[in-house]
């Protein structure tokens, strides 16, 4: 039986929210490192370079925060309804012969993080990931050949929801 998609979506939303908060805190720290005034004036070339580096770090963290905010927005619009293809919001079950089902979820911001949902491990991927693109045209019962750790394996698509 497939793990609950609504529980997974809630857990993933909380994960992204926590990640956004951590990035914002890091960005504030980086911005503090760029402070230049009468008391905090870099005296050497190295200190000036450090201030510049902190500015670039703050910029990069800010861009990552914006991306996560976009993922959170997309999640509120996608819902947790059934999917019939490997698209954003799909829960996918792949099975290798004599092995348990491997559960994947295609969610905004997916980065191969594994989340435990009701005791079942689910790997969260982006719908643009190479694996998701390979699964996009498949239906339940189809077999796909993938290369894992340099070894070709055949997996059956046993669930899309």
Confidence of residue 45 (pLDDT cuts 50, 70, 90): confident
Contact 111, 128 (CB under 8 A): no
State the DSSP code for 97: T
- 0.85 exceeded by the pTM? no
2 CB burial (10 A radius; 0-12, 13-18, 19+):
middle
Per-residue DSSP letter, 108: T
Q: What is the fold, at CATH topology level, of the domain defined by 91-160?
A: Chitinase A; domain 3 (3.10.50)
- Across residues 57-75, what is the average pLDDT? 92
Q: Which phi and psi angles does 10 have, rounded to 5°?
A: -65, -45
Q: What is the pLDDT of residue 32?
A: 77
Return the pLDDT at 38: 61
């Amino acid at each position: 039986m497939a793990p609950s998609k609504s529980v997974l979506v809630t857990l993933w939303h909380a994960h992204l929210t926590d990640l956004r908060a951590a990035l914002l805190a890091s960005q504030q720290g980086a911005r503090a490192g760029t402070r230049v005034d009468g008391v905090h004036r870099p005296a050497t070339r190295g200190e000036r370079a450090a201030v510049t580096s902190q500015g670039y770090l703050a910029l990069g963290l800010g861009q990552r925060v914006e991306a996560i905010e976009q993922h959170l927005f997309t999640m509120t619009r996608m819902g947790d309804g059934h999917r019939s293809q490997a698209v954003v919001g799909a829960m996918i079950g792949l099975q290798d012969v004599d092995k348990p089902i491997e559960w994947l979820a295609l969610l905004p911001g997916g980065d191969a993080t594994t989340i435990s949902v009701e005791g079942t491990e689910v790997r969260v991927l982006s719908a643009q990931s190479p694996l998701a693109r390979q699964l996009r045209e498949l239906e339940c019962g189809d077999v796909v050949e993938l290369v894992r750790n340099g070894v070709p394996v055949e997996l059956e698509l046993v669930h899309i929801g």
